[in-house]
Chains A and B, each alone.
Chain A
């Protein structure tokens, strides 16, 4: 079956850039997503990228997609304490069972 892999933890200093990486196996993925989950809350869609795009930028967020290597990354510029959360990578290939999620990356911000 499809699989989405991401590191469990990432620690960065406040003000630095954070880069969260994700790999997936389904070559028929149509959309790839990044969700953010703050403590005690549900998942909030951060951004998504269509599979025929290489890059998408939205303010401090940059998504890079390498379709050949099936690698997705999320870069957060000027990381702030409010960015501390779990970030989930997900892919969608049109199946009725919805998105396939990674296990989430805990982003830890050090002062």
Chain B
């Protein structure tokens, strides 16, 4: 079974803090994604990566950066957290091949005070 794990289920940070959200997948997938989920807005893609050290902006990259130093790990960084970044953050991975699909981690609920 594919496993996508995220470093924290719940996180509380203060405005201005630097925040790291870690995601690890164990299926050797090439593609990894970070989404945020907010009521009424569905899933919005922040960044994705299709290979080590490669990254692409999604729909809402402002205020975020990412790091993919190893294939299995994709980190989302909030350089200076703000209250409007309070949200549920979901990581996903996707392999290559016709029967593959995106597998999601359990999510990190981040609250910025």
Q: Nearest Cβ distance between residue B61 and chain A, in whole angstroms?
A: 12
Question: Is B113's CB within 8 Å of the partner chain A?
Answer: no
Q: Which of B41, B43, B92, B94 has the most CB of A within 10 A?
A: B43
In chain A, positions 75-102 with a C-beta closer than 8 Å to chain B are 88, 90, 92, 96-99, 101-102
B27-49 with Cβ < 8 A to chain A:
31, 33, 40-43, 45, 48
| Interfacial chain B residues near A111, Cβ < 8 Å | none
CB distance from B75 to the nearest CB of A (A): 17
A42 and B106 contacting across the interface, CB-CB below 8 Å: yes
Known contacts A33-B101, A42-B105, A42-B106; A98 and B31 CB within 8 A of each other: yes
Q: In this complex, what residue of A is CB-closest to B90?
A: A42
Contacting residues, chain B, for A96 (C-beta < 8 A): 31, 48, 50, 56
Q: How far is the CA of A49 from the CA of B33 in the complex (A)?
A: 22
Cβ B48 vs Cβ A103 within 8 A: no
A4: nearest chain-B partner, CB-CB: B42
| Chain A residues at the B interface, C-beta cutoff of 8 Å | 8, 30-31, 33, 35, 40-45, 48, 88, 90, 92, 96-99, 101-104
By Cβ-Cβ distance, the 9 closest A-B pairs, closest first, are A103-B42, A43-B104, A42-B104, A42-B106, A101-B43, A42-B107, A96-B50, A99-B102, A98-B33
